[in-house]
Structure 1
Amino acid sequence: MRAIILSVLLGLVLYIQAQVTIGSGIPPDENALLDLKEDDNGNSTKGLLLPRVQLSDIDSPSPLTEHKEGMFVYNIGENGFVGRGVYYNTGEKWEKVSSLFTNWFYMPSVVFDTSLTGEGFTKNLYELYRDQFENPMMKSSDAPPSIPHMPAANDLYYYITVYDTDVFEIISLSDSGILVYNIKQAVSAYSLINIIFVLK
């Protein structure tokens, strides 16, 4: 009888140790290996703090000794190859977690009137992008009415990678996507400004 009771108790201890709650003495959800919660309703006043590392390159496992699929970290360093943010490891490289958005994309087509010269023209690149994404002219039958997962203006970096310097003089490009420019030379055919948005 004593052996049966000890076996049952040992089995119960092993079961409890297989699932863990951190933050309270409340048993974990039956589907969770690790459950972070402070009360019965799952409410909390604290968050999960990921390991903070300095990644040097998405192809390098450093500071890990090797790539490990499923590893999550928060990169606190910032260089030309890797920005700050949450990254996961694919087993071959680091990928940034970008809130379901692609990491970068070209700005939708926008018309710049170059028929007359002038100074101090402005375009709100973010508003032009948002208006097109919220009001597409056509969509497939099962698509939502507007394009989902739209970041805010300050969630983006704005780049102009190339433009016709004979026609345009770029004065400024703000952190919220306001472009100020001059038209140096009127053209009747076409000109070029290549604009790219990158998620922070």
Structure 2
Amino acid sequence: MNKILVLIAICLMLSMENASAQIAVNSDSPDASAALDIQAVNNNRGLLIPQMTTAQKLAIANPAPGLLVYDTDYNCISQYKDTPSNPGVFGWTCQTLFNRHFLYMPTINIPTSDGTGSLLTGTRSIDLYNVYKTGFENPSVKSAGAPASIPYFNRDQLYYYVTYCDPCITVTGISDSGNLSYTVNALPNYDAFVNIVFLVR
């Protein structure tokens, strides 16, 4: 009997050498690229990581690079970015801090004249999202080795704001899809400036 148990144990150890070191939850086939693959049975659950205050987070002794916690003071997923080779350089950083999820609109021309020196009349419109997407898809210059295009958000992932408008223009509204409407009050002295900010929803 003991010989049979030893034989079974040897077979198990030999088979474990070829087993992948992967763990799957609610699945028999973890993704090949994942060490841990968690699937919700009815796709109605999420992953809840440890939640703590900033002080508790900072009190973690020797946090591993890439360690994640939810910071309840900043309401963000916080990642430890230091490595043993550069301690104290980056420290903890919020990955989902709301005020980091905005970007300024690329520079655009706001037409105010019909080309003959006369004011444009009526309500004009500019598709802000289309200008943004076109600029990010086809940047005019890039550094060596950089990707051909810049990653960009989808139209419905953004909120659109005007933080400043030259007095020669009146912004009458911005649609939820990023279409800016404006009227021209006067010709600008040089250029008409409008500061536009996109905020990730």
Q: TM-score scaled by structure 1?
A: 0.61
Report whether the alignment pairs 1:51 with 2:48.
yes
Tell me which residue corresponds to 2:86: none
Q: 1:188 to 1:95 in 2, by over 3 A?
A: same
Mapping of residues 24-173 of structure 1, within 5 Å: 24=27, 26=28, 33-36=35-38, 46=43, 49-51=46-48, 61-62=52-53, 65-66=56-57, 70-71=67-68, 87-90=77-80, 92-96=92-96, 103-115=101-113, 116=119, 118-145=121-148, 147-164=149-166, 166-173=167-174
8 Å CA contact retained: 2:112, 2:120: yes
SS at match of 2:57: coil
Work out the percentage of aligned pairs sharing the same amino acid.
26
Q: Distance in 1 between matches of 2:49 and 2:200?
A: 20
Q: 1:22 to 1:120 in 2, by over 3 A?
A: same
Q: 1:27 to 1:177 in 2, by over 3 A?
A: closer
Give the greater-gyration-radius structure (CA).
2
8 Å CA contact retained: 2:78, 2:92: no
Q: 1:144 to 1:36 in 2, by over 3 A?
A: same
Deviation string for 1:103-159 (max 9, x for gaps)?
A: 3222111111234253311110011112222233333453443x2322111111212
Q: Distance in 2 between matches of 1:112 and 1:30?
A: 51
Q: 1:28 to 1:181 in 2, by over 3 A?
A: closer
Q: TM-score scaled by structure 2?
A: 0.61
How many residues align? The count is 171
> 1:192 Cα shift?
1.5
RMSD: 4.4
Q: 1:181 to 1:113 in 2, by over 3 A?
A: same
Q: Distance in 2 between matches of 1:32 and 1:143?
A: 28
Unaligned runs of 5+ in 2: 61-65, 81-90, 114-118
Q: 1:185 to 1:117 in 2, by over 3 A?
A: farther
Q: 1:156 to 1:64 in 2, by over 3 A?
A: farther
Deviation string for 1:23-51 (max 9, x for gaps)?
A: 14x4767986533369xxxxx87476122
Q: Distance in 1 between matches of 2:179 and 2:104?
A: 16
Q: Distance in 2 between matches of 1:19 and 1:193?
A: 53
